[in-house]
Amino acid sequence: MAEPLLIFRGEVHCRCSAGVPGLTLSGYTSAHPETRTTLAFSAAAPAEFPATLQDALIEQLPEGSWRIKSATREWRLANVPVHLHRAAAEEFYRALPPRPVPWLKRSFWRLVLLLARHRGGFRLLRALRG
């Protein structure tokens, strides 16, 4: 029985190249609809692979090969390594919010920028800098 790896929802962008990875799929999945997911196969893309797919299903077959299924067609890839990537920045910064800037540092930079706006203040800053 085939084991599903990813279920893309909506449009999936496909990039085929001569090097490794040979085929890269990117889009949004049903499991993580808010995060862009990229799946890269370390094999050459099948002949005449389209630039976009709609609602693609990627599953691993019992013999280890991969099946990419779209609404209209199906492709098979040999048993090759697959690399899955999800952008984690949004989740990271949600879990670890930035610390607030201390009021002394905020006041210092506010004063420097205020002085830099005027010709006399700019000269003063240059003199203090050396």
The per-residue pLDDT for range 21-41, each reduced to its tens digit, is: 778 899 988 888 888 889 888
Q: Are residues 51 and 88 in the same domain?
A: yes
Fill in the amino acid letter for 52.
Answer: T
Q: Are residues 57 and 120 in the same domain?
A: no
Q: Are residues 75 and 109 in the same domain?
A: no
Q: Are residues 75 and 115 in the same domain?
A: no
Q: Are residues 9 and 60 in the same domain?
A: yes
Q: Are residues 66 and 110 in the same domain?
A: no
Determine the distance from the C-alpha atom of residue 50 to the mean position of all C-alpha atoms in its chain, rounded to a whole number.
21
Relative to beta strand 82-86, strand 74-77 is unpaired
d(CA 129, CA 109): 15
Q: Are residues 76 and 107 in the same domain?
A: no
Count the alpha carbons within 13 Å of 107 in the hemisphere toward its beta carbon: 3
Buried b (16+ CB within 10 A) or exposed e, 33-72: eeeebbbbbebbbeeebeeebeebbbbeeeeeebbbbbee
* Alpha helical stretches, state H, the chain: 89-95, 103-116, 119-129
**Domain span at residue 114?**
99-129
| Higher-scoring residue by pLDDT: 105, 10 | 105
What is the count of structural domains for the chain?
Answer: 2
The model's pTM is 0.63
Q: Are residues 103 and 39 in the same domain?
A: no
Q: Are 43 and 2 in contact (CB under 8 A)?
A: no
User: pLDDT tens-digit profile of 63-93?
Assistant: 888 888 888 888 888 888 888 888 888 778 8
Q: Are residues 39 and 8 in the same domain?
A: yes
Both tokens of residue 36?
A: 């862009």
